[in-house]
Amino acid sequence: MKKALITGVTGQDGSYLAEFLLEKGYEVHGIKRRASLFNTDRIDHIYQDPHIEHQRFHLHYGDLSDSSNLIRIVKEVEPDEIYNLGAQSHVAVSFEAPEYTADVDALGTLRLLEAIRFLGLEKKTRFYQASTSELYGLVQEIPQKETTPFHPRSPYAVAKMYAYWITVNYRESYGIYACNGILFNHESPRRGETFVTRKITRAIANISQGLESCLYLGNMDALRDWGHAKDYVRMQWMMLQQEQPEDFVIATGKQISVREFVQMSAREAGIELEFSGEGVDEIATVKSVNTDIAPEVKVGDVIVRVDPRYFRPAEVETLLGDPAKAKEILGWVPEITVEEMCSEMVAYDVDQARRHALLKAHGHEISVAVE
Ligand code: NDP
Ligand code: GDR
């Protein structure tokens, strides 16, 4: 039985990857952080009582900022594959916490690679690094492929650039099977609530049920190549099954703007929007509404506004990936379209909002967290 170790197992990708590997028959070990509340919502459905025998899914407390802890876990598990998905993954937050982001996202990767080397596992343990389209930042070529030069635009992207190169360097220096997946944005109903797609689907759902009145966004002109996380974790595994380690761009090859994603999400919730105004004065007004789906929304309501506090000190305006190499060498193509993904996310969030609205209607106090 193959053994995999996943950092960031409690995150969006970690949870899908753990499910995927368990289905493939792996013994899966995940590293979770100590938190003051349970932080395992995304994996609770696959985690079983550790007191039951023959479990194939194990969790270890740990942190990418702590070398000795990483060495101990890697020594205990002796994994065939390590997936380094753990990171301070929010670009905007990285401007607020640049040093922490560098420690975890850049040095955390080094610490894991050093653990492999220190324990003499260079020939046994394969290593996947969660690299990112943010490396392209100020884009030098459209679409972006494996050979496109990098120009990172945030402390997050700069830290991930170190992680990218240290992964290449350990491959070249020590013969470790180590590779980078340069993944473009990927989303799902498990996406963190402060990334823009989930922020939008959740807010539209809450607005449709009268739990929120307005969604505030930053740069709605930003263009992204959005795929579904389920498609992308499959590719992470495929990358570690090749004869030779290589780096791959993972993307859909299509892009839409944040504004279009808002429009698409609203439509899924029975709301047709009209955008007007420019820059910080841009608003979206309800043009028509299906009140069977969105009972609390009225024609003429302004439900989207711009708040400059969501603008970033340096923005990545456009990203569009070219997944040709992944298709040619690995036979990978994304199966879920952005429309299908948006529909799944809105359906999930509307379901949640309806539950909250029902509780509220029965006198329960409901507070909806917003950023
Ligand atoms: P999430 O933010 O959903 O998950 C990040 C995970 O990392 C969480 O499990 C989090 O733990 C964990 N983590 C954070 N800090 C530490 C730390 N100091 N030590 C150990 N673990 C830590 O990210 P995604 O699942 O979306 O992304 C997975 C990886 O892929 C990340 O590295 C991200 O940067 C990268 N990536 C993501 C893309 C995307 O579009 N989703 C695209 C390209 C790259 P906790 O749950 O406790 O917070
Ligand atoms: P990104 O994702 O920065 O691409 O990083 P995010 O969803 O945060 O932003 C995408 C674009 O939307 C614009 N935007 C807003 N973003 C947020 N979060 N909140 C807003 O209110 C808002 N309004 C407009 C942003 O400016 C940006 O242009 C994600 C993360 O998963 C990274 O870890 C990963 O490496 C990259 O994707 C690929």
Per residue in 1-41, pLDDT (tens digit) is: 999 999 999 999 999 999 999 999 999 999 999 999 999 99
Nearest residue (by CA) to ligand 1, atom 43, is: 132
**In angstroms, what is the span from residue 91 Cα to ligand 2's centroid?**
7
Atom nearest to 35 CA in ligand 1? 47
Beta strands in the chain, from DSSP E residues, in sequence order: 3-7, 27-32, 57-61, 81-84, 126-132, 178-183, 186-187, 215-217, 223-224, 227-228, 248-250, 256-257, 271-276, 283-289, 302-306
Q: Domain locations in the chain?
A: 3-183, 196-223+257-312+337-362
Per-residue pLDDT of the chain (371 residues; tens, 9 = 90+): 999 999 999 999 999 999 999 999 999 999 999 999 999 999 999 987 778 778 899 999 999 999 999 999 999 999 999 999 999 999 999 999 999 999 999 999 999 999 999 999 999 999 999 999 999 999 999 999 999 999 999 999 999 999 999 999 999 999 999 999 999 999 999 999 999 999 999 999 999 999 999 999 999 999 999 999 999 999 999 999 999 999 999 999 999 999 999 999 999 999 999 999 999 999 999 999 999 999 999 999 999 999 999 999 999 999 999 999 999 999 999 999 999 999 999 999 999 999 999 999 999 988 888 87
Which amino acids are annotated catalytic? 132, 134, 156
By CB atoms closer than 10 A (0-12, 13-18, 19+), residue 54 is exposed
Q: What is the pLDDT of residue 365?
A: 86
**Are the C-beta atoms of residues 223 and 318 closer than 8 Å to each other?**
yes
Q: Which ligand gives the minimal distance to the CA of 66? A: 1
Q: Which ligand gives the minimal distance to the CA of 182? A: 1
DSSP sequence for 174-187 = H---EEEEEEPPEE
Q: Residue 228: which of 42, 16, 2 has the closest Cα?
A: 16
Q: What is the pLDDT of residue 26?
A: 98
**In angstroms, what is the span from residue 8 Cα to ligand 1's centroid?**
5
Q: What is the pLDDT of residue 50?
A: 78
Q: What distances in angstroms separate CA 195 from CA 69, 107, 231, one per listed residue?
A: 30, 24, 19
> Which residue has tokens 């970690």?
14
The CA distance from 85 to 267, in Å, is 33
**In angstroms, what is the span from residue 174 Cα to ligand 2's centroid?**
35
Q: Is the CB of 15 under 6 A from ligand 1?
A: no
Cβ neighbours for 10, distance < 8 A, ≥ 6 positions apart? 30, 32, 33, 39, 40, 41, 42, 43
End-to-end CA distance of the chain: 43
Strand partners, 144: 321
Q: What is the pLDDT of residue 235?
A: 97
**In angstroms, what is the span from residue 104 Cα to ligand 2's centroid?**
19
Provide the residue type at 93 as one letter: V
The CA distance from 270 to 273, in Å, is 10
Query: Which homologous superfamily is 3-183 in?
Result: NAD(P)-binding Rossmann-like Domain (3.40.50.720)
Q: Which ligand gives the minimal distance to the CA of 183? A: 1
> Which residue has tokens 């409901």?
366
Atom nearest to 42 CA in ligand 1? 46
Q: Is the CB of 102 under 6 A from ligand 1?
A: no
> Whole-prediction pTM value?
0.98
Test site for ligand 2: of 185, 236, 250, most ligand atoms within 8 A of the Cβ: 185
Residues enclosing ligand 2, CB less than 6 A? 89, 91-92, 132-134, 184-185, 194-196, 199, 217-219, 222, 224, 258, 310, 312, 315-316
Nearest residue (by CA) to ligand 2, atom 2, is: 195
Q: What is the pLDDT of residue 341?
A: 98
Nearest residue (by CA) to ligand 1, atom 2, is: 89
Omega within 30 of 0 (cis) for the link into 143? yes
Q: Which ligand gives the minimal distance to the CA of 67? A: 1
Nearest residue (by CA) to ligand 2, atom 28, is: 222
Cβ neighbours for 116, distance < 8 A, ≥ 6 positions apart? 74, 82, 122, 125, 127, 170, 176
Atom nearest to 130 CA in ligand 2? 35
The CA distance from 289 to 182, in Å, is 40
C-alpha dihedral, 155 to 159 to 164 to 170, nearest 10°:
160
Q: Is the CB of 257 under 6 A from ligand 1?
A: no
The CA distance from 9 to 17, in Å, is 8
> Which residue has tokens 């309800």?
286
Q: Is the CB of 143 under 6 A from ligand 1?
A: no
> Which residue has tokens 């809450």?
206
Q: Is the CB of 86 under 6 A from ligand 1?
A: yes
Fold of 196-223+257-312+337-362: UDP-galactose 4-epimerase; domain 1 (3.90.25)
Q: What distances in angstroms separate CA 358 from CA 206, 214, 349, 363, 366, one per listed residue?
A: 12, 20, 14, 9, 10
Q: What distances in angstroms separate CA 110 from CA 118, 160, 320, 327, one per listed residue?
A: 12, 11, 28, 29
Q: Which two tokens stand for residue 141?
A: 């070529």
